[in-house]
Amino acid sequence: MLIRSVEQVPIHKEPSSIIPGVPAITQHEILNNRRHVLTKDTAGSVKLWEITRGAVIEDFGKVSFEDKKKELFEMVSIPAWFTMDARLGCLSVHLDTPQCFSAEIYAVDLNVAGAQEDLKRSGSHGLSNGDTSTGKDVSLKNLPHPRSEVDDGAENHASQMLPSFEFSTVSPPSIITEGSSGGPWRKRITDLDGTESDIPWWIVDCVEHNRFPKENTKCGFYLHPAEGSPAPNITQGKLSAPRILRIHKVANYVVEKLDRPLDGNADSTFGMGLTSGQSQFSALDSSSRLGLKPWQKLKPSVLAPEMSLATVRAYVWKKPEDLILNYKVVHVHGPKFEDLGNRLQKYAHANHAVTSSPGAHPY
Non-local (6+) Cβ contacts of 359 within 8 A are 301, 315, 316, 317, 318, 319
Cα angle for residues 214, 215, 219 (degrees, 5° grid): 130
Non-local (6+) Cβ contacts of 6 within 8 A are none
146-184 burial, b at 16+ Cβ within 10 Å, e below that, comes to bebbeeeeeeebeeeebebbebeeeebbebebeeeeeee
- pLDDT the model gives residue 68: 97
Whole-Å CA distances, 43 to 22, 39, 61, 62, 315: 9, 11, 9, 8, 36
- pLDDT the model gives residue 89: 93
- pLDDT the model gives residue 270: 37
What are the residue ranges spanned by the domains of the chain?
Answer: 25-94, 99-209, 218-355
Burial (CB count <10 Å: 0-12, 13-18, 19+), residue 219: buried
- pLDDT the model gives residue 31: 96
Q: Give dist(CA 18, CA 64) in Å, integer.
A: 31
Residue type, 180: S
DSSP one-letter code for 205: H
- pLDDT the model gives residue 47: 97
Low-confidence ranges of the chain (pLDDT < 50): 128-161, 262-300, 334-353, 358-363
Q: Give dist(CA 43, CA 46) in Å, integer.
A: 9
Q: Give dist(CA 333, CA 336) in Å, integer.
A: 8
**H/E element holding 37?**
strand 36-41
pTM of the model: 0.62
- Taking alpha carbons only, the member of 327, 323, 325, 326 closest to residue 310 is 323
- pLDDT the model gives residue 52: 82
